[in-house]
Chain A
Amino acid sequence: GDSVTQMEGPVTLSEEAFLTINCTYTATGYPSLFWYVQYPGEGLQLLLKATKADDKGSNKGFEATYRKETTSFHLEKGSVQVSDSAVYFCALSGYNQGGKLIFGQGTELSVKP
């Protein structure tokens, strides 16, 4: 079945470090790919998305490229801040999934000053 796999957390970085959170997927059809972020005590909010192969989604300094050949959608940021500390979820959704989101398990990021 369809699934999303993320790198294990927690990830701990110093401020201004480079961030990569790996995400790979298995899916039928041509789903859209998403990164959602959950700040402490809050619900999820969309960080960025890409709807077709080779698309790059970007927002708030984060970016991810939809790589169909490697079935990946890795999240990157060049210089993290303490305020980026949160849990990041990779997800997919498309016609073959009935428009429902399939989530990865989440990766907790902690950024230290």
Chain B
Amino acid sequence: NAGVTQTPKFRILKIGQSMTLQCAQDMNHNYMYWYRQDPGMGLKLIYYSVGAGITDKGEVPNGYNVSRSTTEDFPLRLELAAPSQTSVYFCASKSGTGPSGVDEQYFGPGTRLTVT
């Protein structure tokens, strides 16, 4: 199993450009998450999905969009990139059929994004 994969690893965007961060998992997990990690801060949840076709906002969703057309893929779209979106983005997934919280989340290696 590859686990959770993310592409690209690094990206530099100009202000106002758009891009899609790709995330895929091969563990047949229902739950998938997008986080951002800013220096000296913990991870903040951007969006999450409890299954194909179902997405919901997390703590910091502004400026982002997601879709979940398959169980495996959960892309994150940045529209009109801004310097405040400079961060490291992590995708994660977990198994489980309910929000019990006991299941481990598996993280991808991250995408380092710089907006200038």
Residues of A within 8 A of B (CB): 4, 31-32, 34, 36, 41-46, 49, 51, 89, 91-95, 97-101, 103-106
Query: Quick check: B99 and A98 within 8 Å, CB to CB?
Result: yes
Query: Quick check: A32 and B102 within 8 Å, CB to CB?
Result: yes
Question: Bound complex: CA of A15 vs CA of B40, how far in Å?
Answer: 24
Partner pick for A42 among B40, B96, B105, B109, CB 8 A cutoff: B109
Contact flag A99-B107 (CB < 8 Å), given A105-B40, A106-B42: no
* B55 to A: closest C-beta gap in Å: 13
Q: Which residues from B are CB-within-8-Å of A45?
A: 107
Query: Quick check: A43 and B104 within 8 Å, CB to CB?
Result: no
* B67 to A: closest C-beta gap in Å: 19
Q: What total of A-B pairs shows CB separation below 8 Å? A: 69
Partner pick for B101 among A94, A103, A105, CB 8 A cutoff: A94
Contact flag A99-B42 (CB < 8 Å), given A43-B108, A44-B107: no
Type the 1/0 row for B66-91, where 1 means its CB is closer than 8 Å to any CB of A: 00000000000000000000000010
* B54 to A: closest C-beta gap in Å: 13
List 20 extra interface pairs beyond A44-B105, A103-B42, A103-B43, CB under 8 A.
A31-B101, A32-B100, A36-B107, A43-B4, A46-B105, A49-B104, A51-B102, A94-B101, A95-B101, A97-B101, A98-B99, A99-B96, A99-B98, A100-B33, A100-B48, A100-B58, A101-B33, A101-B43, A101-B105, A105-B40
Q: Which residues from A are CB-within-8-Å of B96?
A: 99
Closest to B112 in A: A41
Query: Quick check: A105 and B42 within 8 Å, CB to CB?
Result: yes
Q: Which residues from A are CB-within-8-Å of B31?
A: 99
Q: Which residues from B are CB-within-8-Å of A42?
A: 109-110
Residue B13 at the A interface, CB < 8 A? no
Residue B41 at the A interface, CB < 8 A? yes
**12 A-B pairs (CB sep. < 8 Å):** A36-B107, A43-B108, A43-B110, A44-B43, A89-B42, A89-B43, A99-B96, A100-B45, A100-B101, A101-B33, A101-B105, A104-B42
